[in-house]
Structure formats: C-alpha cells, structure tokens
Amino acid sequence: MRLANGQPYLAIPGPSVTPDRVQRAMHRTSPNIYEGALIDTVVGLWPDLKRLAGTSQHLAGYIGNGHAGWEAANANLFSRGEKAVVLSSGRFGEGWAGHARDMGIEVELVDFGTAAPADPDRLEQILRADTEGRIKAVLTTHVDTASSVRNDIPALRAAIDAVGHPALFAVDCVASMGCDRFEMDAWGVDVAVSASQKGLMTPPGLAFVWFSDRARARCGRGDLATPYWRWGPRAEPAEAHEYWGGTAPTHHIFGLREAMDMILHEEGLENVWARHEALAGAVWAAFDAWGEGCAIGLNVGRPDWRSRAVTAARIGGADGTRLRQWCEREAGVTLGLGLGMNSPEDPRADGFLRVAHMGHVNAHMTLGALAVMEAGLKALGIPHGEGALSAAAAHLASVAG
C-alpha cells in the first residue's frame, strides 16, 4: 500500500516550498513593463531586499539562478588574472571556485573538507603571506548546502582585519538568506550573493548581488564586467529597464513582493530566523536519537557549525538513497540527496541524505518529515535508535511560546 497521495512535500534544499500566496501573486497576465505596478513594485523591493541582507549599500538584480549570482559577483569583483582565495566547506565552495577559474581568475582554493567551517587562523596566515597584496577578494559560503556547514562570517572578517589586508570579502548566501542570521554591514561583508528559490520562497529565476561602497569604488569596471553582468547600471539605474539589463522578470517580481511581505512585514526577520533555528533543532534532536548505537549521524558535529536551513546526515551503506526513495514513493516527502559526499567506498554518496528546513516550513511540516523518515527506517529495517520523534517534539515544546 502507498500512502503518498495528498499534498506532497518537497523537503530538498532548493527549490523550497512556494507559498500558495506567492503562486497566486504570480498568476496574472503580463504587465506593462514601462510604467505602473511592475516598476513601482521593483522600486519598492530594493529597500526591502537590502533590509533582508542587513545592508544600506548597493543591490544588483539578475534574471538567473545562484550560479548566475556567482558569475555576477566574479565578473564585477575581478579582472582576468586577478587573484581570489576561496574558502570551501563543501561542493558549493568548490563550485564557486570553479566558476572563477573558468572565467580566468587565479584561484587559491582552501579546502576545509565537508564537515568543518573555514578556519579564520588559516585565512589570517594566507593573507599575511600575501606581502605583495595580490589577493583581490576572499570568497566563501555562508552555508554550504551540500555539507550543511555554516561558516562564522564575523570571525573570518576579523581575520582579514587582523592582518589589515585590503582584500574584499564576498559571501554566498544562496542557502542562508532569510533562514540563518546574516547582517552584511554589521559583519563587514563587501559582496553577498543570493537567489530567489530557497529562503526567499519564490521559484528559481532571480539572483541578487549586494555590494558595499568599498566594492563599488574598486570593482565593476574590469575586463570581466561585460555589459550584461556589470552591476553599476542595475544598482543605480537611470532607466527602469536597467534594473534587469532588459525585460524585467515580470511574474517573479510579484511573487517575490508577496514573499518579502511575509518575511519582513508579517512574520518579521528575527522571528523567521528563530523559526529556522527551532526547526533545525528538532531535526538535530531526531538524528541524535536515531544515531544511538548505529551508523546514523549528523554530518556536522558541532551545533555552532551547522546551518539552520538544511541538515546533511549519514544513514550508512546505501541506506540514504533507500530511505529517500521510500519517503518519496510511499509517503510523499522528497528529501535531498547526498551531495559532494562521494568517496571510493560510496561513489554515489548513497549513504547520505539532506533534510531541508528552509523557507515556508513550519513545525508540522518538519515533524511530519521526521515521522515519515522514522516510518521509512522501520519499513526498510535500517538500524536506528528509538525516541527520535519524541525528542524532536520535546525540543519544539521547549522553544515554542
């Protein structure tokens, strides 16, 4: 018997669940792109998107996904042959580095593995050794969605400041924006990148690059800043079409407006962050219980190293894939696959999976996903500790009002 009919739940780390309200806001005929509601909505979105990132500085928007955001940041930060240091804690850090390399940027990739954040002391050493000042910018992920490692952005900033190195500091916030606390200006971030389809609860199609006055003064005019990617006109448009380098992403704009109302003006950003923190804690509590005396375990050991948006976990053997398939086919919950966890013993990372708790997710959704996983563990005979659901519920009870 299958129990999958009903509302499916896509619990993968992007795209996240799109709220019905966002979908309804997008369901309309194409608007006039030269004047009226569409332009007014874009103009109104810019201050809200800056507030979301914790900045009063500059914002450029692009039609594209997170990879487009990477390319936009790279194109404006660097000229060909200039040097980037990329601090990687998983597949997405490597991905950003690879994009930069392919664009002709010299990349020093510093790999911290798939279960630990970037070490600020290591960054400090690297910058101290750069006596010729060749490093133009330091790039890292806030949350690496593959490993679910969260970097300590203020600590990395402090390492740059300790050396007094002029390198700019750029952070990939695709997975974390609107989920994990992020404060661009207070944390001294020069460039932040995000996209619409994760914490921002809107379908894939919009990428954003926030940048500081310092970055504006030093970047954006090099030989990689080709007309489409150049951030200047998008951030300071003389004409409305310059916001998007051409026709606006009409329907996405109305969807994002609704999503930003929900995040900033209804729930409130502090509450949004607290909700993600609570749901992440419930997921961790469940895994701690399942892991008693067996192979199951969270990928990231220390809670302060973990994302609040997504959790990567080891199930063991090929059981990550088996459990994912069971949850989707039998119970209507789609979990994320193990990404970047491949090893010679597990070439397809079948022993891993990821649970997303990003965006439009509440207690019943996360508890439901965990309960389905528990049913799957039992149905498939995968060894696991008992008490996971009660631990998850107890965690939510302890933090809820």
Q: For ligand PLP, how many residues bind (rule: CB under 6 A)?
A: 14
Place of tokens 């969605």: 145
Radius of gyration over every alpha carbon of the chain, rounded to an integer in angstroms: 21
Q: How far is the CB of 145 from ligand PLP (least distance, A)?
A: 3
Which tokens belong to 177? 């924006």
| Contacting residues for 53 by C-beta, under 8 A, at least 6 apart | 59, 173, 177, 182, 184, 192, 194, 208, 210
By CB under 6 A, name the one of 16, 141, 299, 334 that touches ligand PLP: 141
Beta strands at 143-144 and 149-150: parallel, antiparallel or unpaired: antiparallel
* DSSP calls for 349-378: -TTEEEEE--SS--HHHHHHHHHHHHHHHH
- Residue 340 touches ligand PLP, criterion: CB under 6 A: no
By CB under 6 A, name the one of 71, 82, 172, 319 that touches ligand PLP: 172
Among 231, 235, 226, CA closest to 79: 226
- Residue 175 touches ligand PLP, criterion: CB under 6 A: yes
By CB under 6 A, name the one of 59, 135, 174, 296 that touches ligand PLP: 174
**Closer by beta carbon to ligand PLP, 326 or else 352:** 352
**Closer by beta carbon to ligand PLP, 152 or else 330:** 152
Count CB atoms within 10 A of the CB of residue 246: 11
Stretches 32-40, 143-151, 178-186, 285-293: which one binds ligand PLP (CB under 6 A)?
143-151
Which tokens belong to 35? 């004047």
Stretches 148-156, 158-166, 168-176, 362-370: which one binds ligand PLP (CB under 6 A)?
168-176
By CB under 6 A, name the one of 31, 54, 188, 204 that touches ligand PLP: 204
Count CB atoms within 10 A of the CB of residue 216: 17
| Residue number of the CB atom closest to ligand PLP | 66
Q: How far is the CB of 292 from ligand PLP (least distance, A)?
A: 30
Q: Draw the binding track, 3-32, toward ligand PLP (x: CB under 6 A; -: no contact).
A: -----------x------------------
Judge whether 151 and 87 are in contact, CB under 8 Å: yes
Q: How far is the CB of 142 from ligand PLP (least distance, A)?
A: 7
* DSSP calls for 111-122: E-TTSSPPPHHH
List contacts with ligand PLP (CB under 6 A). Answer: 14, 65-67, 92, 141, 143-145, 172, 174-175, 195, 204
